[in-house]
């Protein structure tokens, strides 16, 4: 698990705003003590440094947001790949013999239900349950591949069971892609620490500049700190698999599971438990 996932989302803006306001106040007080005969000569340099630091911070925030958005899109693509692979495998199971077809389609329906439950567990941050469900998914992959392998070995003339086998492989590939996108494709803690440090130092320079002039606007100070904090909160949520503000729509998997249920119930040659 990513080390920063232990921090609740509501605490992210609180920490960011608190750190920035603390450094603004420190810079302001230090700037007031530095006011003297030569403070005016410092103003041009301090303003240039403040503008450069705030611009660099904005660039890093935009860069980090782009990475988080890309990770979200990768999770979405992997999800679509898995839904498509399950659907294809369910249809491809019709090419198997009667007993294998019944078993394969029942297992695929169970797998779809498991993936819906896994998404719900991720949303509630129940990572222990998520790990158990991932292992169960991999066990189901093994069972499906055993069925595909047996069907390929027993295929006779005119029988094409390769579609089911290819679909099972596609399911495994989509599963691995979802794990990669959700667990391993994360913004590095080094980038998070750098962002927070850059924000703190930028606020320090801004407070120092205000201290040199002897005046400041608390409304502007709070607004700037809140703006940067909100953006960092959005980046944090986009990068996490258990998102709070953003959600990966699970309706496609739900609709697929419902269609499986209807087709299985309509099969007169099958006795459902």
- Would residue 163 count as lying in a domain? yes
| Helix H or strand E segment including 241 | none
DSSP state of 95: G
- Would residue 5 count as lying in a domain? no
Contact 134, 179 (CB under 8 A): yes
Those residues with Cβ within 8 angstroms of residue 128's Cβ, 6 or more apart along the chain or in another chain: none
Q: Is the pLDDT of residue 257 over 50?
A: yes
- Would residue 201 count as lying in a domain? yes
- Would residue 272 count as lying in a domain? no
Q: What is the pLDDT of residues 31-83, one digit of tens each?
A: 888 776 566 667 878 888 888 999 999 999 999 999 999 989 988 899 999 99
Residue 172's pLDDT is: 93
Residue 44's pLDDT is: 79
Q: What is the mean pLDDT of residues 113-138?
A: 87
**C-alpha radius of gyration, the chain, whole number:** 27
Q: Is the pLDDT of residue 141 over 90?
A: yes
- Would residue 11 count as lying in a domain? no
Q: What is the pLDDT of residues 165-207, one digit of tens each?
A: 899 999 999 999 988 888 788 888 899 999 999 999 999 999 9
Residue 114's pLDDT is: 92
- Would residue 1 count as lying in a domain? no
Closest CA to 13 of 145, 199, 176, 140: 199
Closest CA to 246 of 76, 92, 114: 76
Residue 46's pLDDT is: 85
- Cα gap 254→260, rounded to integer Å: 10
Count of domains forming the chain: 1
- The lowest-confidence range among 101-115, 147-161, 204-218, 228-242 is 147-161
- Cα gap 210→201, rounded to integer Å: 14
Parent domain of 146: 20-265
- Would residue 129 count as lying in a domain? yes
Q: Taking the model in full, what pTM does it have?
A: 0.79
- Would residue 191 count as lying in a domain? yes
Residue 1 — pLDDT band, cuts 50, 70, 90?
low
3-state secondary structure of 226: helix
| Helix H or strand E segment including 167 | helix 162-179
Those residues with Cβ within 8 angstroms of residue 26's Cβ, 6 or more apart along the chain or in another chain: 204, 207
Residue 269 — pLDDT band, cuts 50, 70, 90?
very low
Q: Scanning the structure block, which residue is given the tokens 């608190």?
A: 18
Contact 231, 66 (CB under 8 A): no
- Cα gap 218→130, rounded to integer Å: 45
Residue 186's pLDDT is: 87
Q: Could you tell me the CA-to-CA distances from 78 to 142, 170, 237, 256 in Å, in that order?
A: 20, 11, 19, 16
């Amino acid at each position: 698990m990513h080390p920063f996932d232990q921090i609740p989302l509501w605490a992210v803006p609180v920490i960011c705003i608190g750190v920035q306001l603390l450094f603004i106040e420190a810079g302001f007080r230090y700037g007031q003590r530095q006011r003297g005969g030569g403070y005016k000569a410092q103003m041009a340099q301090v303003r240039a440094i403040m503008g450069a630091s705030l611009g660099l911070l904005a660039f890093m925030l935009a860069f980090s947001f782009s990475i988080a958005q890309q990770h979200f899109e990768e999770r979405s693509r992997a999800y679509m790949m898995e839904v498509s692979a399950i659907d294809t495998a369910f249809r491809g199971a019709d090419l198997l013999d009667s007993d294998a077809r019944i078993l394969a389609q029942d297992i695929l329906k169970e797998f779809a239900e498991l993936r819906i439950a896994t998404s719900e567990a991720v949303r509630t941050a129940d990572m222990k349950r998520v790990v158990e469900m991932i292992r169960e998914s991999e066990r189901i992959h093994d069972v499906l591949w055993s069925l595909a392998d047996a069907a390929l070995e027993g295929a006779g003339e005119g029988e094409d069971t390769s579609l089911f086998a290819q679909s099972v492989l596609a399911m495994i590939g989509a599963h691995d892609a979802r794990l990669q996108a959700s667990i391993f494709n994360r913004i590095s803690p080094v980038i998070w620490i750098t962002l927070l440090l850059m924000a703190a130092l930028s606020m320090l320079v801004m407070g120092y500049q205000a201290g040199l002039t002897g005046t400041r606007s608390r409304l502007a100070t709070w607004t700037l700190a809140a703006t940067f904090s909100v953006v960092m909160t959005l980046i944090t949520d986009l990068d996490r698999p258990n998102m709070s503000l953003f959600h990966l729509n699970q309706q496609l998997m739900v609709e697929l599971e419902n269609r499986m249920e209807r087709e299985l119930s309509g099969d007169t040659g099958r006795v459902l438990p």
